[in-house]
A and B are shown apart, each in its own frame.
Chain A
Amino acid sequence: MRDYLLDLVEHSYDLGCIDLIKVTGTDTETSVDGLAEDKSVVLQAKFAAPVADYIGTFGMPNLAKLKILLNIGEYKENAEISVKRQERNGENAPVGLHFKNAAGDFKNDYRFMVSEIVAEKLKGVKMKDVPWDIEFEPTTASIMRLKMQAQANAEETTFQTKTEDGHLKFLFGDHSTHAGDFVFQHDVGGKLSKSWSWPVQQFIAIMNLTGDKTVRISDSGATKITVDSGIAVYNYILPAQSK
């Protein structure tokens, strides 16, 4: 349980822009949805296998608190972390997590958000079909180069993408500012005709996550980054930034 939760918290809260997720579980599938408050990132994830404890629909608010609980020393070894359920509207619904250390003398309760409220706060969104013009698996070296440019251009909150000679370039700043650019991925095959902007902080935060990553960019103004942690497959959709 703790590993699942840690994976979930890392791949949502640790982005720095998501503090509430919605979990929808059936006996065949467990999915997770999240949305950054500024709509810069849409999270849509599925666990590799259904999680029996998560059957139902509920919200996990205040993920910062959940992260603290998961990292408390008392709960790292032989602790019992269980999903509490209650009868609600004729259904046996998950209502929270109960933490108990090995000795049973240190406890915490983390409460879930009920399905009606989380449905209001995180309205389900459906993405229109867009063609993904570029698809690749970013290298560790490219991610390092991105971080260097981001550091050198710390005043820029966004970077732009374009294809040039078959390579994908990331560009920081413009002719009126300090600027920098570099090839993020060689020989991407596809072509981008529009120079969309993307949020630096969020993009790097996703690149920092544990798991195998695939980046897809659409000329329609969307980037989808898939991160497979082994426990779940997380899809992060970044709408392009514009005025």
Chain B
Amino acid sequence: MIEQDNLTLKQKDYAVFLPAISSFYSGYIGKERFPAGDKNKIIGDRLPKGLPNMESMNWLNSKESLFPYKYSLYSAGHANMDLSVTVPKEDMVRNREADTIMLADSGGFQIAKGVWPGAWADPKDKACEKKREQVIAWQMGIATHGMTMDIPTWTYLDKQASEACGIKSYQDAVDATLFNNEFWMASRSGDLKILNVLQGSNHTEADQWYNTMKKFCSDKYDRPFDGWGMGGQNMCDVHLVLKRLVTLIHEGLLEKGHHDWMHFLGTSKLEWACLLTDVQRSIRRHANSNFTISFDCASPFLATANGQVYTNLRTEDRGKWSYMMEATADNKKYAHGTDSFRDVVLRDGIHEKFEDSPISSRLTIGDICHYAPGDLNKIGKEGKTSWDSFSYALLMGHNVWQHIRAVQDANVRYDEGILPGMLVHETFERVLFRDVVERIFEARDYNKSMQIIDDNSKFWDSIRGTRGFTGKRIVNSASQFNALFS
């Protein structure tokens, strides 16, 4: 019986972090599941002695994983959406246990970046039509929740991307999203719960967007969308988040059984893991007992791609909270080394601190630093790095555990009364984020709630988001400039 660190059980009532699965990583799960179709038998040769199989790194497998965790996000932008064929690298996502939660992102980001070219402002464009059909069918085929195909309002600001996707203005982005939403509404079937993505680069745009798109969650439709996706400024600006939530409650668009899920795109800050838990709990108490907030990021995978591993967690009282990432051991002298990975990186001063994960604790230094001097890599050349592709996969697994654990541990600490500096103001009197949030939602009165939000405007500004306008930049000229100048 494998010893498991069951992260699903440890999730409690915290806002839910969704690892944004890398297809590079899921590819290794697939390689083991489909060995016959795999010319490159890297798993057989490379599987560390400490790991029973690749499924031990698949957190969506509750029986075999070293760290079962039933939540994830997968993006259409990385996926093979042809469900008529078996695709090994998609199998971790497609063939997973029934009670797992998979949020399928729609690829709106790919449109905005010009990676999915087409005339997206033209509802009749055939290439876009095909992509829409593919994505919604794929979402319905593989996911429990799906995002609408939103086109961020900043799309037109990138000239090259704007040319590629045909979105030339803010209004083009709104109109194209409107059309995509109608398409999603008309095409949906089955159990897929659809999240209505909100965009906007500032409060004015976000309000306009919300007022345009909110109908898709209303009883104007027989089967309205089932929740909300927070993009653009909505995902990084607490002031806007709270205003929106109060408005949603007031307008009957956060109803139990109808709009139970809200997802924050690309959110990696630990403080947000805690504050979103506060918001979720408060709303469960006062408005919708089913309400769940999720947030995703790809940091565990991106960090590895940059040669970095999560080493430890920093959660000092009144300090900045973060998971620490550092460049780790990459040296051919370690090839075939049998000492534990952790022992070596600490002994040789590569990291001052290194907290093992259920994966790293089973690794030797040679499992990561695979190539010895003179060894040739897959393309028949001697590279500078001692890592092969599988080294990255192993460290990604370690990083995913670290990230989920960091989110959960941060919430544990927060519940114990240890506070991140961002979520408490003590300049004049002690003001806790969680207390203000509770006052906002227990007021159950739109004007009172909004007044409390506005009264604490400076507090919200001090809570930095992952991207967008945050901190002092949150108050800026963009909105009025757009209103005054053409």
A157, A175, A221, A237: the one contacting B483 at CB < 8 Å is A221
Inter-chain contact total with CB atoms closer than 8 Å: 73
Kindly state whether residue A240 has any CB partner on chain B within 8 Å: yes
With A176-B455, A176-B458, A177-B458: A243-B203 Cβ-Cβ less than 8 Å: yes
**A176 neighbours in B (Cβ, 8 Å):** 428, 455-459
Stretch at the interface among A48-56, A60-68, A122-130: A122-130
A42, A158, A199, A241: the one contacting B485 at CB < 8 Å is A42
| Residues of B74-132 contacting chain A, CB below 8 A | none
Kindly state whether residue B204 has any CB partner on chain A within 8 Å: yes
A42, A126, A238, A243: the one contacting B475 at CB < 8 Å is A243
B484 touching A130 by the CB < 8 A rule? yes
B428, B477, B479: the one contacting A40 at CB < 8 Å is B477
**B239 neighbours in A (Cβ, 8 Å):** 243
With A125-B486, A174-B458: A239-B474 Cβ-Cβ less than 8 Å: no
**B202 neighbours in A (Cβ, 8 Å):** 242-243
A238 to B202, CA, bound (A): 18
Kindly state whether residue A145 has any CB partner on chain B within 8 Å: no
With A174-B458, A243-B203, A243-B237: A126-B485 Cβ-Cβ less than 8 Å: yes
**B469 neighbours in A (Cβ, 8 Å):** 243
B477 touching A243 by the CB < 8 A rule? no
Closest Cβ of chain A to B406, distance in Å, is 30
A199 to B372, CA, bound (A): 59
Closest Cβ of chain B to A224, distance in Å, is 10
**A39 neighbours in B (Cβ, 8 Å):** 476-478, 481
A30 to B229, CA, bound (A): 50
Kindly state whether residue B472 has any CB partner on chain A within 8 Å: yes
Kindly state whether residue B240 has any CB partner on chain A within 8 Å: yes
**B427 neighbours in A (Cβ, 8 Å):** 177
B240, B481, B483: the one contacting A243 at CB < 8 Å is B240
Closest Cβ of chain A to B374, distance in Å, is 51
Kindly state whether residue A220 has any CB partner on chain B within 8 Å: yes
A53 to B484, CA, bound (A): 33
Kindly state whether residue B480 has any CB partner on chain A within 8 Å: yes
B479 touching A127 by the CB < 8 A rule? no
Kindly state whether residue A38 has any CB partner on chain B within 8 Å: yes
Query: A174's closest neighbor in chain B, by CB?
Result: B458
A238 to B457, CA, bound (A): 22
B485 touching A242 by the CB < 8 A rule? no
Query: B472's closest neighbor in chain A, by CB?
Result: A157
Query: A197's closest neighbor in chain B, by CB?
Result: B475
Q: Which of B239, B459, B485 has the most CB of A within 10 A?
A: B485
Kindly state whether residue A222 has any CB partner on chain B within 8 Å: yes
Closest Cβ of chain B to A102, distance in Å, is 45
B477 touching A38 by the CB < 8 A rule? yes
B459 touching A239 by the CB < 8 A rule? no
A242 to B459, CA, bound (A): 16
Q: Which of B237, B240, B478 has the most CB of A within 10 A?
A: B478
B477 touching A199 by the CB < 8 A rule? yes
A241 touching B455 by the CB < 8 A rule? no
B203, B237, B428, B458: the one contacting A242 at CB < 8 Å is B203
Closest Cβ of chain A to B276, distance in Å, is 20
A125 to B477, CA, bound (A): 15
Query: A221's closest neighbor in chain B, by CB?
Result: B480
With A39-B477, A240-B477, A243-B237: A128-B458 Cβ-Cβ less than 8 Å: no
A158 to B476, CA, bound (A): 9
A174 to B458, CA, bound (A): 9
A242 touching B456 by the CB < 8 A rule? no
Query: B456's closest neighbor in chain A, by CB?
Result: A176
With A157-B475, A243-B239: A221-B484 Cβ-Cβ less than 8 Å: yes
A128 touching B484 by the CB < 8 A rule? yes
B480 touching A239 by the CB < 8 A rule? yes
Query: B239's closest neighbor in chain A, by CB?
Result: A243
**B484 neighbours in A (Cβ, 8 Å):** 127-128, 130, 220-222, 237, 239
**A125 neighbours in B (Cβ, 8 Å):** 485-486
Closest Cβ of chain B to A232, distance in Å, is 21
A197 to B480, CA, bound (A): 11
Closest Cβ of chain B to A88, distance in Å, is 23
**B456 neighbours in A (Cβ, 8 Å):** 176
Query: B486's closest neighbor in chain A, by CB?
Result: A126
A241 touching B459 by the CB < 8 A rule? no
User: Besides the contacts A38-B476, A242-B204, what 15 more A-B pairs have beta carbons closer than 8 Å?
Assistant: A38-B477, A39-B477, A125-B485, A174-B457, A175-B455, A176-B459, A177-B427, A197-B475, A238-B477, A239-B485, A240-B480, A242-B202, A242-B479, A243-B237, A243-B475
B residues at A contact (CB < 8 Å): 202-204, 237, 239-240, 427-428, 455-459, 469, 472, 474-481, 483-486
* Contacts A/B (CB < 8 Å), 30 sampled: A38-B476, A39-B478, A40-B477, A42-B485, A125-B486, A126-B485, A127-B485, A128-B485, A130-B484, A157-B475, A176-B457, A176-B459, A177-B458, A199-B477, A220-B484, A221-B483, A237-B484, A238-B477, A239-B480, A239-B481, A239-B485, A241-B475, A241-B476, A241-B477, A241-B480, A242-B202, A242-B476, A242-B480, A243-B237, A243-B474
Can you list the 8 inter-chain pairs with the closest CB atoms, starting with the nearest? A239-B480, A125-B485, A39-B481, A239-B481, A239-B477, A39-B477, A243-B203, A40-B477
